[in-house]
């Protein structure tokens, strides 16, 4: 994908809109209302070449235009993002709970990506992988566009060893340690991911450390994988508002964190071949 023609502004890149074709002003107004119309007429919307569109601009179907979105009101997440490591290629942080990795839905400015771009002055910062909003722990970002693909590919191919710690109540339905394999699917518009019949696409090693503390070693990275697998064992993770049951939590309630920590990451650096190991400094869950 070619770079956006507008730079990152205040930690956030421009929105990219794929057009259905025809007069741009009419389409954007119909889809996004008066605010979009005002942006076009004030020259704030540009095409893929960076040229401002206006009331007379007509573009074919499949074209893209770019504009800065109006940010929603967000509840500030009252936790810092400690940096564990920083060099020319990567920034590794100890993400707090309640902070999404990157903008999505109602979480935009209050995300690890946008806050770190602002705090560190790194407009090309990009996540090499993701953690759930409620999961705390080790999270890796790349600093430059040129190295982004190498690190993202490392995670996508499952070449990163990940270790999580979780606190859960109850007793497991099976003898531990155990490897759980299932097919996990996250349907659009549904809060919970679900297990469905079919070829397994998710695998997790579950071990008891002591009492209600468990070590989780995922071999795959499906959405909510660890939370789904622990709940399936009769061991829902403490503080989980989704599994096994959905609980309505106010957006400003930060008092009950999910007791799940991405405690350790290890991989061979795709650029240098050096063995990398990063460990969270947060107390156990």
As a whole number of angstroms, the distance between CA 163 and CA 201 comes to: 19
Predicted TM-score (pTM) of the model is 0.91
pLDDT (tens digit per residue) in 249-276: 998 999 999 999 999 999 999 999 999 9
pLDDT (tens digit per residue) in 217-257: 999 999 999 999 999 999 999 999 999 999 999 989 999 99
* pLDDT at residue 1 in the model: 67
pLDDT (tens digit per residue) in 102-153: 998 888 999 999 999 999 999 999 999 999 999 999 999 999 999 999 999 9
Q: Delimit the domains of the chain by residue range.
A: 15-67, 83-279
* pLDDT at residue 170 in the model: 86
The better pLDDT of the pair 169, 79 is held by: 79
- Catalytic option among 89, 94, 132, 240: 132
Residue 131: which of 1, 270, 227, 9 has the closest Cα? 227
73 DSSP assignment: P
User: Is 245 one of the catalytic residues?
Assistant: no
CATH of domain 83-279: 3.30.2350.10
pLDDT (tens digit per residue) in 44-90: 999 999 999 999 999 999 999 999 988 888 999 999 999 999 999 99
Give the C-alpha distances (Å, rounded to integers) separating 48 from 7, 57, 101, 197: 13, 13, 27, 43
């Amino acid at each position: 994908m070619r770079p956006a023609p507008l730079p990152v502004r205040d930690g956030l890149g421009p929105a990219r809109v794929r057009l259905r074709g025809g007069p741009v002003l009419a389409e954007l107004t119909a889809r996004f209302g008066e605010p979009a119309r005002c942006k076009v007429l004030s020259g704030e919307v540009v095409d893929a070449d960076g040229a401002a569109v206006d009331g007379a601009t007509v573009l074919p179907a499949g074209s893209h235009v770019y504009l800065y979105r109006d940010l929603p009101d967000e509840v500030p997440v009252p936790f810092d993002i400690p940096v564990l490591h920083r060099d020319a290629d990567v920034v590794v942080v100890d993400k707090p709970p309640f902070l999404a990795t990157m903008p999505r839905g109602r979480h935009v400015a209050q995300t690890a990506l946008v806050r770190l771009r602002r705090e560190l002055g790194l407009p090309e910062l990009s996540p090499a992988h993701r953690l759930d909003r409620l999961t705390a722990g080790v999270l890796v970002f790349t600093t430059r566009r040129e190295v982004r693909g190498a690190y993202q590919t490392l995670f996508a191919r499952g070449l990163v060893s990940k270790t999580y710690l979780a606190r859960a109540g109850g007793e497991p339905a099976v003898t531990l340690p155990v490897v759980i394999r299932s097919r996990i699917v996250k349907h659009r518009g549904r809060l919970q991911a679900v297990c469905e019949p079919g070829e397994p696409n998710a695998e997790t090693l579950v071990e008891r450390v002591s009492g209600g503390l468990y070590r989780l070693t995922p071999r795959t990275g499906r959405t909510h994988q660890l939370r789904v697998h622990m709940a399936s064992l009769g061991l829902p993770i403490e503080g989980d508002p989704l599994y096994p049951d959905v609980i309505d939590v106010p957006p400003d309630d930060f008092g009950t964190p999910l007791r799940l920590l991405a405690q350790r990451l290890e991989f061979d650096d795709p650029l240098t071949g050096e063995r990398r190991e990063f460990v969270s400094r947060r107390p156990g869950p």
